[in-house]
């Protein structure tokens, strides 16, 4: 099964594609509050990432079906786009967070139970497999919908792998 077939059959993004790119490395490593990454690999009629961006970092769409393009110089890592994306395709990575081995990810979250600040959660990859644990730093309440933005400290080496979290209640 090729990459395109896997995406259509499973919904799992298996390789970099247009609409699913990482920020320029030099800017990413020094930008306080992080930079958005949008993994929106298919043309669909959607643009809340653009309309919610207060700085214009998510560029205007020529066609409502276009994939998002980002002006990383304008991105402030505010995570407004994370909170409003109906496909949960936006997240922010702050490589300036913490020590040299840790990063902060701002991840969309729509599940129960709601994580608490300080809680240790499982960090999941694109297929939902646990790949590490992370510490919840902050939980932002939904802006409009039911999507919370959870700030989680994760190993820098895994920021391009972690895509979701799972609350594991201790008994």
The answer to whether 102 touches 156, Cβ cutoff 8 Å, is yes
The answer to whether 55 touches 74, Cβ cutoff 8 Å, is yes
DSSP helix/strand/coil, 61: coil
Tokens representing 56 are: 């214009």
The answer to whether 72 touches 119, Cβ cutoff 8 Å, is no
Q: Which of 82-86, 117-121, 139-143 has the lowest mean pLDDT?
A: 139-143
In whole angstroms, what is the distance from residue 45 CA to residue 37 CA?
Answer: 19
Mean pLDDT across 61-68:
93
Please state, in angstroms and as integers, the Cα–Cα distance from residue 62 to each residue in 47, 81, 93, following that order.
11, 18, 27
Whole-structure pTM value: 0.89
Higher pLDDT, 23 or 4: 23
Q: Name the average pLDDT for the chain.
A: 89
Domain extent listing, the chain:
3-166
**Torsion angle defined by CA atoms of residues 54, 162, 142 and 151, in that order, rounded to the nearest 10 degrees:** -80
- Look at residues 59, 62, 67, 87 and name the one whose alpha carbon lies nearest to residue 18: 67
The answer to whether 107 touches 152, Cβ cutoff 8 Å, is yes
Share of the chain above pLDDT 70, in %: 87
In whole angstroms, what is the distance from residue 90 CA to residue 70 CA?
Answer: 12
The answer to whether 68 touches 19, Cβ cutoff 8 Å, is yes
Q: Give me the helices (H) in the chain, please.
A: 3-10, 25-28, 48-52, 80-84
- In the prediction, which pLDDT does 152 show? 98
């Amino acid at each position: 099964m090729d990459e395109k077939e896997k995406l259509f059959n499973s919904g799992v993004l298996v390789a970099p594609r247009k609409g699913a790119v990482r920020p320029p490395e030099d800017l990413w490593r020094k930008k306080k509050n992080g930079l958005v990454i949008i993994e929106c690999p298919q043309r669909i009629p959607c643009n809340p990432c653009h309309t919610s961006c207060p700085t214009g970092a998510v560029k205007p769409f020529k066609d409502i079906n276009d994939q998002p393009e980002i002006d990383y110089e304008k991105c402030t890592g505010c995570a407004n786009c994370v909170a409003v994306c109906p496909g949960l395709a936006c997240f922010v990575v702050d490589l300036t967070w913490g020590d040299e081995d840790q990063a902060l990810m701002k991840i969309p979250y729509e599940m129960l139970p709601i994580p608490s600040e300080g809680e240790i959660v499982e960090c999941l990859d694109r297929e939902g497999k646990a790949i590490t644990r992370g510490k919840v730093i902050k939980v932002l309440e939904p802006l409009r919908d039911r999507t919370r933005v959870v700030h989680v400290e994760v190993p820098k080496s895994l920021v391009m792998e972690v895509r979701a979290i799972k609350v594991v209640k201790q008994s």
